[in-house]
């Protein structure tokens, strides 16, 4: 018999959850508030939380100095393109590993995951030289390619986990009805794994959107996404925290809104198969 949860316990758990959530969100909140301060107020000690002279001057300066829309469009194309290509590769790969496994499946999955254990800087020089020789430096196509390969192991692992939760009997029934492999993927497997596919897609978009190492080292201006847009304020104006906060707020705003509206899909996907 399940143990009954008391009202006091519920109140305590709710308060603890709100407290932890506030601690996690506080750095973002502080950055947003700092973006509306003057430079003097951003450095003031003790710092002011809400009671200060609010100003939008920092956003105006950022807009004058940088082409925000250009960097934002680059981020959308790079994050979206790398995610779609990774999903197109990972779905059939995860399907094969989940429903047509071999004795090497676990070894392949472990090998794929091990590629994420190596620091990116360890392969920076060869990748930079390859990009230089093939004319991919400062190009959207080059960044789409490298971010797709970088996030592909995580995408395959997540989809493999979700696909393993789907009963094989349903796919076997579809095969008995004459479904080809392509139809099985498109009309049977994909609709059943939508929560897992959605959460994997959203997580991959967030990872690609926030990627800074490759974007800073492989781009300069033409294909520079929002991570490079932020870095342009942290180097020459490293002590101007209000303007840096404004640039960072503009950079995270699109992905923050996306995460807010898709949080239900994220939760459903991340808990997919957890409850039978």
Residue 143 structure tokens: 């960044």
| All structural domains of the chain | 61-270 (1.10.3720.10)
Encode pLDDT of 186-228 as tens digits. Answer: 788 878 888 788 888 888 998 899 898 999 899 888 888 988 8
Considering only CA atoms, which of 137, 98, 162 is closest in space to residue 218?
A: 137
Distance CA 248, CA 61 (A): 13
Residue 35 structure tokens: 């973006």
Q: How far is CA 148 from each of CA 108, 168, 211, 217, rounded to the nearest angstrom? A: 18, 29, 11, 16
Q: How many CB atoms lie within 10 A of CB 71?
A: 23
Q: How confident is the model at residue 184 (pLDDT cuts 50, 70, 90)?
A: confident
Encode pLDDT of 105-136 as tens digits. Answer: 888 888 888 888 888 888 899 999 999 999 88
**pLDDT of 182 over the 70 cut:** yes
Q: What percent of the chain has pLDDT over 70?
A: 92
Q: How confident is the model at residue 276 (pLDDT cuts 50, 70, 90)?
A: very low
What pLDDT is recorded for position 275? 44
């Amino acid at each position: 018999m399940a143990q009954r949860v008391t009202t006091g316990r519920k109140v305590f758990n709710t308060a603890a959850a709100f407290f932890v959530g506030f601690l996690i969100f506080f750095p973002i909140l502080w950055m947003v508030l700092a973006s509306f301060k003057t430079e003097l107020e951003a450095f003031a000690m003790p710092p002011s939380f809400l009671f200060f002279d609010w100003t939008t001057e920092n956003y105006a300066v950022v807009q004058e100095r940088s082409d925000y829309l250009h960097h934002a469009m680059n981020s959308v194309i790079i994050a979206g393109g790398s995610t779609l290509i990774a999903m197109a590769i990972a779905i059939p790969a995860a399907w094969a590993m989940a429903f047509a496994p071999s004795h090497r499946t676990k070894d392949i999955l472990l090998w794929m995951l091990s590629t994420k254990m190596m620091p990116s800087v360890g392969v920076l020089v060869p990748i930079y030289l390859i990009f230089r020789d093939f004319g991919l430096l400062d190009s959207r196509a080059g960044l789409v390619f490298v971010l797709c390969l970088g996030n592909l192991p995580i995408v395959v692992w997540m989809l493999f986990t979700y696909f393993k939760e789907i009963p094989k009997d349903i796919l076997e029934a579809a095969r008995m009805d004459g479904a080809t492999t392509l139809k099985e993927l498109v009309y049977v497997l994909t609709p059943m794994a939508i929560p897992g596919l959605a959460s994997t897609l959203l997580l991959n978009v967030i990872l690609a959107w926030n990627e800074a190492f490759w974007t800073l080292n492989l781009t300069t201006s033409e294909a520079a996404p929002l991570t490079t847009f932020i870095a342009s304020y942290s180097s020459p104006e490293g002590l101007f925290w209000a303007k840096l906060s404004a640039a960072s707020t503009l950079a995270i705003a699109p992905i923050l809104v996306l995460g807010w509206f898709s949080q239900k899909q994220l939760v459903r996907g991340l808990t997919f198969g957890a409850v039978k």
